[in-house]
Amino acid sequence: MSKISKVNKLEVMKQIINCKNFLLIQDIDGVCIPLVKDPLNRTIDYEYINSIYNLKNKFFVLTCGEHEGQRGVNRIIETALNSKDLAKIEGLYLPGLAACGIEYQNNFGKIKLIGINKKEIDFLQKAPIIIKELLTRELELLFTEFSKEEIENHINIAVCDTRFSPAINLNSLFLIIRNDITKMRTLQKTIQKVMEKVIELSRNYGLQKSFYLHISPNLGKQGDKEIIKLATHEDIGTTDIQLIINGALKEAGLLVLINESIKIKSGTRPFGDDFNVRNAPKTIDGLISLCKEKVSPKAMPTLIGVGDTVTSSKISSSNKWSRGGSDRGFLTLIQELGKAYNKENRIIFVDSSHGEVNRPSVINGNLNGISDPEDPLKFDLIMNEGPKEYIKWIKLLSKRIGTKI
């Protein structure tokens, strides 16, 4: 059992405020947006948007979701503001990196695509149609009691036709089978099969090394492949599988954001203007070495990382743990960069189980399913009440920083 340490939220806030050069980097879904069954029903707090604006160049998002498109977070912000123009005029979009590392935008919504070519974009435009066709065949075999129209409706919800990271989201389909663990596992294996077929088709398209499958939540990696987390009575397991550009990992994306942050402050990108997630080092150690080579201690900001998707499960019949989660990599890198630069970097975990999606929770006073006693990743602060508590905290942080300035 991994226990939760008691840390004072205001003390951590005070340390951040007293730091002259800090950069807060956060995930989005499950952190500032509660998790919901249908991603099109996501909402964001209006006052949170204004609080982020007040943080100015001290804040970035780092997400596997997307900024633009029908399902992009920019649409959610515009809905919260009740205007399609206000965010662009006032600079109220969330700045940072999306699609796990290739879609960068500033707070005015100006998009820059980095590390992706036209042929890959062309295939990604076709991918949602391919996914829907493949998934339709599978679900017609699984759900023989449903009409074609009913299956089509479910698929339209489940298939996220995002521009650079198309995915299948199982939350709405899980509602049909109502906690039938066997069927839930069958569905998880089915979408993995469908998405692996999409990878195969991309290779036939001449893109042999362009994509990988991002499984969320996952149990870490076996070789280059992420391990699916099958449902149990305690944990819903994997809910999403995305088609992602190869190399688009959040830990590499962290360096892209450090690169941009230093450019904003000094006028120069330490890793170069052409640096992206695809030409970045592939390991935590490699990324740290690059930072040490290119970024001085004075230029390196104190980093605060915020995420919700971190997993740990004991491997049966052994004393080893399988650790994963899409936020684990970048949070671990932030922690290790703190050690390398002798800075008080902070790791904040948000318990996202308070939404509509069943996830491991800290409600019982432990981190079971999230962390373990031997886990090298340590949380400095835990938002037990989820996005609601985190949003309240970030509003106060923004207000106090604004007062100090």
pLDDT for 405 equals 40
Where do we find the tokens 């052409």? Answer: 274
Q: How many CB atoms lie within 10 A of CB 21?
A: 14
What DSSP element (H or E) covers 223? none
Residues in CB range of 257: below 8 A, 6 or more apart: 23, 25, 60, 62, 96, 97
| Residue 404, pLDDT above cutoff 60 | no
What span, in angstroms and rounded, lies between the C-alpha atoms of 169 and 155?
9
What span, in angstroms and rounded, lies between the C-alpha atoms of 355 and 49?
20
Instruction: Report helix, strand or coil for 187.
Output: helix
Token pair in block for residue 337: 């960069």
What span, in angstroms and rounded, lies between the C-alpha atoms of 66 and 210?
19
CA dihedral for 176, 177, 178, 181, sign (positive or negative) = negative
> What is the DSSP-derived secondary structure letter of residue 41?
G
Are the beta carbons of 73 and 222 closer than 8 angstroms?
Answer: no
Return the percentage of the chain with pLDDT > 70, whole number. 97
pLDDT band at 1 (very low <50, low <70, confident <90, very high): very low
pLDDT for 224 equals 83
Instruction: Give tens-digit pLDDT for 363-383.
Output: 888 999 999 999 999 999 999
What span, in angstroms and rounded, lies between the C-alpha atoms of 34 and 108?
24
**Sequence-ordered alpha helix ranges (H) in 210-249:** none
Are the beta carbons of 31 and 308 closer than 8 angstroms?
Answer: yes
Residue 186's φ and ψ, nearest 5 degrees, are: -60, -45
What span, in angstroms and rounded, lies between the C-alpha atoms of 21 and 16?
9
> What average pLDDT does the segment 134-160 reach?
93
pLDDT for 403 equals 58
| Residue 265, pLDDT above cutoff 90 | yes
pLDDT for 273 equals 96
pLDDT band at 176 (very low <50, low <70, confident <90, very high): confident
Residues in CB range of 274: below 8 A, 6 or more apart: none
The three-point CA angle 373-379-385 to 5° equals 110
- The overall average pLDDT reported for the chain is 92
Kindly report which listed range (77-86, 94-103, 174-183, 287-296) carries the lowest average pLDDT score: 174-183
Tell me which amino acid residue 190 is. T
First to last CA, the chain: 43
Are the beta carbons of 9 and 355 closer than 8 angstroms?
Answer: no
Question: Is the model more confident about 56 or about 76?
Answer: 76
User: Is this model's pTM higher than 0.75 or not?
Assistant: yes
